[in-house]
Structures are given as C-alpha cells and as structure tokens.
Structure 1
Amino acid sequence: MTQSIKPDKTVAALIHLSTFSQFFFPFGNFIFPLIFWTAKKNDPFVNEHGKQALNFQISFFLYVLFIVLAGIAGAVIIGVNLNIENFYWNDHGHFIGSPENATPVIIYVMIMIFLLLSLLILNLYAVVSATVKAGEGKLYKYPLTINFLGASGALPASEATSEKE
C-alpha cells in the first residue's frame, strides 16, 4: 500500500457525509461511501475512514433490522397472549372493547420506536462528528460498531505527513 504524503481530508469527510444519502436513495449509505472509498483507497487515511464509515453503516443497518424484527415479533406475541375478544371496529366505525386491553402492546411498540429514534440520533451525531474529525485530519472511531472490514486505527493525517518528511 502506498503511503501518501498529504492525506486527502476532503474525500475522507465526503465518505462520512455521503452516508446521509440514505435519506434520498435506498442503500445510499452503502453505495456512495463505497464509491468514494474505492476511488482513493490507496491513501491510508481515506482507507481507514472508509472502513470506519462502512463498518458503522453495516452495524447500524443490522441494529435497525433487529429492532424492527423484535418489535414486530414482540407485538404479535404480546397481542396473541392478551386474548382480547371483541376488540375491533364495528360496522358503524365505533370501537368495541376496552382500549386498556391494548396497553401492553402500545407500550412495547412505543419502546421500539424510542429505540429506533435513539439509533437515528446516534447515526446523525456520529456521522457529523466523523466528518468534522476527518476534516481536521484526525481519526474517528464510531460508537457501537462491529468491525466487519478490519479498520485498524491508521495514523492521523498530521502524523502521516510528518512521517514522510
């Protein structure tokens, strides 16, 4: 692997920022960082940031998937165990049954929604923090990340440049 004299902080920052494309394109949080990362993979600084960003996005996807599946399964299991009879809308659009019977399901679903919102806030905070650190030429380790791509903790940009001089 070639050691670059001047690490490309702009591309490293763009890798992190491009993860926000998930709000506009399905799986954009994987596709666009991967494109930027592979374009400048020979730069150790960019390589490390690319691995960190993709590791976090894969981890984030798995956490969201787990919470959604656990939420659906839990709501169904709790709902089946409640054994609620006559808990439906009648022909005139009036509710039949006692809404208090649905409280456990509602509380469980609200907890799952809270966990999903917490993950979204963590994602926003972590990506902005990583972008700022990359712009400063420093490394950033995302929280709650599973290390799929083997991010190693390469040198920050300032150390990488001083080594070659």
Structure 2
Amino acid sequence: MDQITVPRNDREARIWGMLCHLSSLLWIPLLIMGLPIPLANLAGPLMIWLNKRNKYRFVKVHGKESINFQISITLYATIILTIFTAFAWAFFILIGGIKGFDRNSWLELFKLIEFWLWCLASILGIIDSLLVTMASIAAQYGRVYRYPFTLRFLR
C-alpha cells in the first residue's frame, strides 16, 4: 500500500479522498427511503475513483481502499446470509417433521429468523459506518487509512 500523505494545503485532494469513503454510505438513506439498491455502497466510491484517480494520487489510493473494503463487506454479508439461510432451512426441515407444528408456529419461527437477520445486518451496518467514518477523518487530515479485514481486489 502506498504510504503517501498529501500536503495540508491540497484541500481538493483531501476532500475527494474523504468523499471516496463517505459516498459508500449512500445506501443508508436509500434504505430508509425504502429503496434498497443492491451494491449502492460501491457506486459512489467507484465513480469518484474512476473520475479522479488520474488527477490525484491521494484519491487513487483512498478510492482503491474504499472499494476493496466495500467489496469485502458485501462479500462477508453475502456469506453470512447464505450460511444463516442454510441453517434456517435445515432447522425448518427438522421442525417440519415434528407433529403439531402448525401454521402459527411457522410464522413465529419466520419472525424470529427475520429478527436475527436484521440484528446481523445492523451490526454489519454499524461496523461499516464506523470504519468509513474513521477512514474519512484520516483522508481529511491527509493520511492514508487501511481498513481491517479487507480483501485486496484492487492493488
């Protein structure tokens, strides 16, 4: 990873670097408005990186880092959802064989699974927001930030 810093007087590069990270949080207001757009967390950083990477080396580094982290967090969420769904279906199959398990019991079970999925999604969303905020602050101060647990797809 490039260990570059940007001079404090290069305000525009720092702002674009910061926006590479903050734009990944666009999915939050969209979700609140009822528009859950898949991969919305990647759109902003990708557009900024593609448009500004040749003009500012600082943005090139921050954009790659932001995109790598957002791809990683999306991949982790997909894996968790897949594993959770597989366990839920296995549980349904086992419970389905129990006599006396009626329609209301199934609905209660679905509500319980939905609750835990929202809990997991909320935890991932909070972690994403906190790390993005930390990266944005680092960019604002002209420093490079490395996200933890990030797979490096773009080098």
Instruction: Bin the TM-score by the shorter chain.
Output: 0.7 to 0.9
1:106-154 CA-to-partner distances (Å, cap 9, x unmatched) read 5x7765544332211110101111111100101111121111001xxxx
Gaps of 5+ in 1: 90-94, 151-165
Instruction: Name the structure 2 match of 1:19.
Output: 24
Q: Distance in 1 between matches of 2:86 and 2:116?
A: 14
Report the structure, 1 or 2, having the larger helix content. 2
Instruction: Name the structure 1 match of 2:129.
Output: 124
Q: Distance in 2 between matches of 1:128 and 1:87?
A: 47
Question: Quick one: percent identity of the two aligned structures?
Answer: 29
Q: Distance in 2 between matches of 1:144 and 1:114?
A: 21
| Paired residues for 1:23-102 under 5 Å | 23=28, 24=30, 26=37, 27-42=39-54, 43-82=56-95, 83-89=97-103, 95=104
Deviation at 1:81, TM superposition (A): 2.0
Deviation at 1:18, TM superposition (A): 0.5
Amino acid at match of 2:41: N
Deviation at 1:57, TM superposition (A): 0.5
Amino acid at match of 1:63: Y
Instruction: Name the structure 1 match of 2:143.
Output: 138
Instruction: Name the structure 1 match of 2:3.
Output: none
Q: Distance in 1 between matches of 2:142 and 2:71?
A: 24
Q: Distance in 2 between matches of 1:114 and 1:144?
A: 21
Amino acid at match of 2:88: A
Amino acid at match of 1:14: L
Residues 41 and 47 of structure 1 are in contact (CA less than 8 Å); yes or no, is this contact kept in structure 2? yes
Residues 49 and 139 of structure 1 are in contact (CA less than 8 Å); yes or no, is this contact kept in structure 2? yes
Amino acid at match of 1:51: K
Question: How many aligned residue pairs are there?
Answer: 136
Q: Distance in 2 between matches of 1:130 and 1:121?
A: 14
Normalised TM-score (structure 2)? 0.75
Residues 15 and 53 of structure 1 are in contact (CA less than 8 Å); yes or no, is this contact kept in structure 2? yes
Bigger CA radius of gyration = 1
Normalised TM-score (structure 1)? 0.71
- Other structure's SS at 1:84 match: coil
